[in-house]
Amino acid sequence: MEEIIRRAERVAETKSTVLITGETGTGKELVARLLHAPGPRRDGPFVPINCGAIPTELMESEFFGHQRGSFTGAVSDKEGLVQGAEGGTLFLDAIAEMTPATQVKLLRVLQERRFRRLGGRQEQAVDVRVLAATNTDPREAVRSGM
């Protein structure tokens, strides 16, 4: 545990996107908070999201928000969780549970720091650090076609 804390202290000051792996209940969110708290984004929000708890059909709207009228029931514009983490840290727990379509859109956030609301026409810039966690071995998931 001491080695994890030392590594977290070194990485906390960077802008790097970090993938935290480990079995369920091993403290992945605690490590994410250790990366956020002392870092340059400490005054910004820490927005934790359990990707496995969001229904597939709501994932895009929850992450990126939506424009009024973009689907039945969208009676007003809604800010997404990505935008809600502006200036801070977005923690994506259980990222392996995210749909491939949402993963592609998240890649745009990681590479370009831009996103588009569901039903929106213009991209918006976002300043956010992304930390992700999974209890799945990413290499094994790729090999098995997950």
For residue 45, count CB atoms less than 10 angstroms from its CB and return exposed for 0-12, middle for 13-18, buried for 19 or more: middle
Let me know: does 98 contact 90? Beta carbons within 8 Å. Answer: no
% of the chain surpassing 70 pLDDT: 99
For 97, other C-beta atoms within 10 Å of its C-beta total 18
User: Alpha carbon 144 to chain centroid distance?
Assistant: 23
**Residue in the structure block whose two tokens are 């956010």:** 128
Could you tell me the pLDDT band of residue 9, with boundaries at 50, 70 and 90?
Answer: confident
Tell me which of 11-15, 70-74, 95-99, 103-107 is least confident.
Answer: 70-74
How far is CA 109 from each of CA 8, 43, 46, 57, 106, rounded to the nearest angstrom?
A: 23, 21, 17, 20, 5
Is 138 a residue whose pLDDT tops 70?
A: yes
Cα pseudo-dihedral 71, 75, 79, 81, rounded to 10: -60
CA distance 10 to 97: 29
pTM, two decimal places: 0.88
90-127 pLDDT, tens digit each: 999 999 888 888 888 899 999 999 999 988 889 999 99
Residue 51's nearest CA partner among 130, 110, 144, 114 is 130
Strand 89-93 to 124-125 pairing:
unpaired
